[in-house]
Amino acid sequence: MLPLKQISTSALALLLACFLSMGQSSAAEKINFVLNWVPGGDHSPVYWAKAQGHYEKAGIDLTIENGTGSGASAKKVGIGRNQVGIADLPTALRAIGKGADIVAVMNIYANSPYGIYWKKSSGIKSFEDLKGRTIGNPPFDAARQMWPAIAKVLKIDPASVKFVNVKPNAKVASMQSGAIDATTNFYNVHYIYQRIFKDDMGFVALRDLGYNPYGNSIIANGKWAKDNAETLKKFVSVTQQAYATCVKNPKPCIETLAKAGSQKVEDVTENWKLVVELMTHKTSVESALGYFAENRMNDDYAGVKASFGDIKAYDIKSAYTNQYLDMSIKMPKSGL
């Protein structure tokens, strides 16, 4: 080997370029992952996998960002502000029809989490009594975004109820005080309403009424997905495996989320039990965890298209893919 002083300037430049190239090729790919909401039990596998270093080992530098609703996360991913995120699927499908560049790559909730809550003492006996009443939730709340589709299933006029803006953490208190007559929420927080309202709690799960689109799903920016297919595949692989692992052995995942979100372990545990219910469906058990069935996606798209006059028609097959899933990873039939 020649002494350093005998190496030409051009050779040194070439050598330096090689070293820089090697460093760049081994650098972790940055992904900014926006949640649909603040950290909850349904996000625990992502937090656990990150804490265990699984994303890092896959060459991913993952940043997890709190969300403010599915409408907001779909918008952020749709414009490329975030590469990936979580959004309620019908909300994401509507966003695509309004120009968002989104592709769904894995579902978390194979069942719809939509539920309506009220106090029996308010005189509401069933969802049919919601006419003329107020429903309180944030503007970007997934169920509020999808209210036209929900009202169609309930066979009531969408305009027959009045929506009131309520902060996410004020839903329960607003219903307790009578400031609102009802609210919508995801089933994974059902235990909170049971704990507070007890026998006075009125509730209907919309999936029990025949409205069961896919729920929270992982979405990616379409252009970024095409340009970074290998990185996205690694991200989905780690995430899919994390959810399967946490169903089989939830304790470490629950504890990780509780610490990250400054929450009580018992609360996250109750949340996770309900998440497991929402994850369990024929498609997740028999096909793959996170799998989108063509017939269900067709139905979900038809429901969104029929309910909103502000979206342009598109090919639903362009809005989702199963190509990044490991088909050998199934949803276990039992959780906790």
pLDDT tens figures, 285-320? 999 999 999 999 999 999 898 878 889 999 999 999
Please write the tens of the pLDDT for every residue from 171-210.
999 999 999 999 999 999 999 999 999 999 999 999 998 8
Report pLDDT for 282: 93
**Distance (Å, rounded) from C-alpha 125 to C-alpha 123?**
6
Please write the tens of the pLDDT for every residue from 205-260.
999 988 899 999 999 999 999 999 999 999 999 999 999 999 999 999 999 999 99
In 206-328, the DSSP E strands lie at 216-221
- Sequence-separated (6 or more) residues with CB below 8 Å from residue 53: none
Report pLDDT for 208: 92
pLDDT at 283 over 80: yes
Please write the tens of the pLDDT for every residue from 81-105.
999 999 999 999 999 999 999 999 9
Report pLDDT for 2: 43
Please indicate whether the domains covering 27-111+214-318 and 114-209 agree at the CATH topology level.
yes
pLDDT band at 24 (very low <50, low <70, confident <90, very high): very low
Q: For the domain made up of 27-111+214-318, give the CATH fold.
A: D-Maltodextrin-Binding Protein; domain 2 (3.40.190)
**Distance (Å, rounded) from C-alpha 204 to C-alpha 193?**
12
Report pLDDT for 334: 58
Strand pairing partners for 107? 217
- Do residues 92 and 217 lie in contact, with contact meaning Cβ atoms separated by under 8 Å? yes
% of the chain surpassing 90 pLDDT: 79
Report pLDDT for 5: 47
Q: What is the DSSP letter of 110?
A: S
The pTM is what?
Answer: 0.85
- Output the DSSP codes for 113-176: -EEEEEEGGGT--SGGGGTT-EEEE-TT-HHHHTHHHHHHHHTS-GGGSEEEE--GGGHHHHHH
Domain locations in the chain as residue ranges: 27-111+214-318, 114-209
Domain 114-209 in CATH 3.40.190.10: yes
